[in-house]
Amino acid sequence: MSSAVAASELRLALVGVPNCGKTALFNRLTGGHQKVANYAGVTVERKEGRFTGRSGRTYRILDLPGAYSLTPTSLDEAITRDAVLGRLAGEMPPEIVVCVVDATNLRLNLRLVLEIRRLGVPMVVALNMSDVARARGFRLDLRKLEAELGIPVVETVAVSSGGAHALIERLEQQVQPAARGPVDYREPTSEDVLDTQREARRILTLVDYYEPPRQRLLQRLDAIVMHPVLGTLVLGALLFTIFQAVFSWAALPMDLIDAGISAVGDALHDGLPAGPLRSLLVDGVIAGAGSVLVFLPQILILFLFILALEESGYLPRAAYLLDRVMGSVGLSGRAFIPLLSSFACAIPGIMATRTIPNVRDRMATIMIAPLMTCSARLPVYALLIGAFIPAQQVGWFNLQGLVLFTLYVAGVVAALVVALVLKRTALKASYHPLLLELPEYHWPSPRNLAIGLWERARIFLRRVGTIILALMIVLWFLSSYPAAPADATMPPIYYSFAGYIGRGLEVLLAPIGFNWQISIALVPGLAAREVAVGALGTVYSLSASDEAVAATLTPMIASTWSLATALALLAWYVFAPQCLSTLAVVKRETASWRYPVAMAAYLFGLAYAGAFVTYRVALALGG
């Protein structure tokens, strides 16, 4: 690869403290042209993008993880240090470091600039959020700052179009630096850090830096949001609103997608001759993958909220509020953000645990991450709740929303208990500090939200189009062959491979109320939770006496399952590790089989116990 790099390509690395707007600037520079992967050997997210300048020169730009310092206290910070020093295996050292600085908090940001300047690497300082700084009354002499630092300083506004213009122009003037090897680097002592801080203060005085007092409105907002009681109420209300929105806002687009899928299915059904091909396309591909695709709106709404909360600066405040609760089960407040991400998907959540510096805290957080109700469970929950729970109002609330909320709470409570047990036994750890920056509030930028959502949608659609589609076809095959005998009295699927597996599992799952159709659906559902819905669709549309594929799954299960069975299946899904990708990520993150195996064992155990108790109690109560 390296030999193919033309002279007109420049490798940049974006460096900056967390919350400096670095990723927004990266989005501004590269637009949608970015590639998200991992650094070799570790699971720190690697974001690379490219753009072309007016001169035709291509810039390859790496968005390094946020770091307060080159002396790392987390895996993220270690990656950033190694990348800047040119020590990172499998990475070319950056030719120019773009140090992104929050113009509204130079006191915190300038030290890192000086630390990197000392390395002697060619660099440019991007004074980001300079519009906000100006509007809020910050003053500083840019020319003097540039002269004092001896490196180019440009103003950027990551959230407005053309906001990176000055930076790009500056980079265009930059000549291609000569190739360099790893930088000679010595870890600073506390005394060195203090010296750098004094130097930063000296420069700030010299450049007539003026910080206005903080806005009263923001102070008042913090007085509420960070209040032990009021803040907790705000957090609870926020979470509740999210879950209600996921159900009510998504209804219309979901109906539209559903109608579209039915129309395609019908058209194929009418247009193709009866036979294996029509059955594969209509019953396998359209009915299977389509029933998962319909949940895209809900997943996007959930991610919209998480991304907006993340960008606004609220999430670390929630971590502060919850540190005490998390601490009481032995976790750090920092575990809150990975766990919150796990509500969308356990995989990014587990990957986000790398910001937890203590290994045992991190392992405990990984182990409970799958108990957070991920969006892949939503299709299953939505199907069962839609079929069995009446949509009536209970006071201010919708009963369906309340049941959904209860399922989320059940997962959280289970997670707290498991964490407590783990931290008292296998993962006992020595004390680890909490030192969390609570950044200034910012309005989330619609463009950044859109880019974030697009990334999520792409990942989800890729899953639907690849793993899920492939499993649907395998399942369709298992469900269709061998064909039923001529004198069959049961639906054809009963005689298929899937029927054999399902009937075998049913022996094990009957005590918790599952019939053989559910048992069959759980098998492909192991690959990904939402697959179970598609699998049920396939199982039921194939086992229907006529070819009424268009008939939706909801009335079908509502008339054939008992309420106790539905509730038991909901309880099963609160716990069961029905997601091989999660287990694979745990294996990769922990670099051992111990954790994924232990995770699968304890989660299946909990799932069986939870479903058993739910089923028996519901039966006893007349369900």
Partner 1 sequence: MTSQPPDAAKLLPVALSTLRKGESAVVVGVRDDHEDLGDEVRSTLAQRLLELGFIPGEVLEVVGAIWPGADPIAVRLGRSLFALRRREAAAVMVSPATAGAR
- Over the window 318 to 357, marking each residue x when it contacts partner 1 by CB under 8 A and - when it does not, the resulting string is -xxx-xx--x-----x------------------------
Least CB distance to partner 1 at residue 435 (A) = 5
| Residue 268 binds partner 1 (CB under 8 A) | no
583, 533 Cβ separation under 8 angstroms = no
| Residue 134 binds partner 1 (CB under 8 A) | no
The arrangement of strands across the sheet holding 58-63 comes to 34-38, 45-52, 58-63, 9-15, 96-102, 123-128, 153-155
Binding piece for partner 1, criterion CB under 8 A, among 103-111, 238-246, 467-475, 567-575: 103-111
- Over the window 146 to 185, marking each residue x when it contacts partner 1 by CB under 8 A and - when it does not, the resulting string is ----------------------------------------
Binding piece for partner 1, criterion CB under 8 A, among 47-55, 273-281, 314-322, 508-516: 314-322
| Residue 99 binds partner 1 (CB under 8 A) | no
| Residue 428 binds partner 1 (CB under 8 A) | no
Nearer to partner 1, 108 or 280 (CB): 108
291, 533 Cβ separation under 8 angstroms = yes
| Residue 430 binds partner 1 (CB under 8 A) | yes
Least CB distance to partner 1 at residue 189 (A) = 8
Angle among Cα 425, 427, 433 to the nearest 5 degrees reads 125
| Residue 449 binds partner 1 (CB under 8 A) | no
End-to-end CA distance of the chain: 64
What is the secondary structure of 333-352 as a DSSP string? GGGHHHHHHHHH-HHHHHHH
Binding piece for partner 1, criterion CB under 8 A, among 63-71, 302-310, 475-483, 588-596: 63-71
Backbone torsion region of residue 95, taken as left when φ is above 0, otherwise alpha when ψ lies between -120 and 50, otherwise beta: alpha
| Residue 197 binds partner 1 (CB under 8 A) | yes
Q: Tokens representing 34? A: 């970015």
Binding piece for partner 1, criterion CB under 8 A, among 226-234, 344-352, 375-383, 465-473: 226-234
Nearer to partner 1, 277 or 359 (CB): 359
SS3 call for 393 = strand
| Residue 108 binds partner 1 (CB under 8 A) | yes
- Over the window 69 to 88, marking each residue x when it contacts partner 1 by CB under 8 A and - when it does not, the resulting string is x-x-x---------------
Nearer to partner 1, 209 or 408 (CB): 209
Print burial letters for 80-109: b (CB count within 10 Å at least 16), e (below 16).
bbbbbbbebeebebbbbbbbbbbbbbbebb
| Residue 435 binds partner 1 (CB under 8 A) | yes
What is the secondary structure of 23-42 as a DSSP string? HHHHHHHHTT-EEEEE-TTS
Among 35, 87, 139, 214, contact with partner 1 (rule: CB under 8 A): 214
Least CB distance to partner 1 at residue 237 (A) = 18
Residue with tokens 């102070």: 219
Segments in 126-212 forming alpha helices (H) = 130-135, 142-149, 165-173, 190-206
| Cα–Cα distance for residue pair 59/371, rounded to 1 Å | 42
| Residue 194 binds partner 1 (CB under 8 A) | yes
| Cα–Cα distance for residue pair 153/564, rounded to 1 Å | 66
Angle between helices 580-590 and 359-368 (to 10 degrees): 170
Binding piece for partner 1, criterion CB under 8 A, among 189-197, 468-476, 582-590, 605-613: 189-197
- Closest C-alpha among 500, 594, 608, 518 to residue 562: 518
| Cα–Cα distance for residue pair 24/312, rounded to 1 Å | 12
| Residue 193 binds partner 1 (CB under 8 A) | yes
Prior bond of 482 cis (ω within 30°):
yes
Please enumerate, as own/partner, the contacts of 387-395 that have beta carbons within 8 Å and a separation of 24 or more. Answer: 387/553, 387/554, 387/555, 387/557, 387/558, 387/561, 387/566, 388/558, 388/561, 388/563, 388/566, 388/567
| Residue 279 binds partner 1 (CB under 8 A) | no
| Residue 312 binds partner 1 (CB under 8 A) | no
Among 436, 473, 501, 544, contact with partner 1 (rule: CB under 8 A): 436
Contacts of 164 (CB under 8 A, 6+ apart): 25, 28, 29, 156, 157, 158
Least CB distance to partner 1 at residue 119 (A) = 16
- Count the residues of the shown chain that bind partner 1, applying the rule CB under 8 A: 41
Among 161, 173, 216, 431, contact with partner 1 (rule: CB under 8 A): 431
| C-alpha dihedral (111, 115, 120, 126), degrees to nearest 10 | -40
| Residue 437 binds partner 1 (CB under 8 A) | yes
Binding piece for partner 1, criterion CB under 8 A, among 124-132, 177-185, 424-432, 605-613: 424-432
Nearer to partner 1, 223 or 548 (CB): 223
Least CB distance to partner 1 at residue 197 (A) = 5
Least CB distance to partner 1 at residue 94 (A) = 22
Least CB distance to partner 1 at residue 433 (A) = 5
Nearer to partner 1, 436 or 619 (CB): 436
Nearer to partner 1, 18 or 297 (CB): 18
Angle between helices 377-388 and 563-575 (to 10 degrees): 160
Nearer to partner 1, 132 or 352 (CB): 132
CA 161 to centroid of chain Cα atoms = 27
Residue with tokens 């997210």: 45
Least CB distance to partner 1 at residue 214 (A) = 7
Least CB distance to partner 1 at residue 46 (A) = 25
| Residue 515 binds partner 1 (CB under 8 A) | no
Q: Which residues bind to partner 1, rule: CB under 8 A? A: 68-69, 71, 73, 104-105, 107-108, 111, 188, 190, 193-194, 197-198, 211, 214, 222-223, 226-228, 316, 319-321, 323-324, 327, 333, 430-440
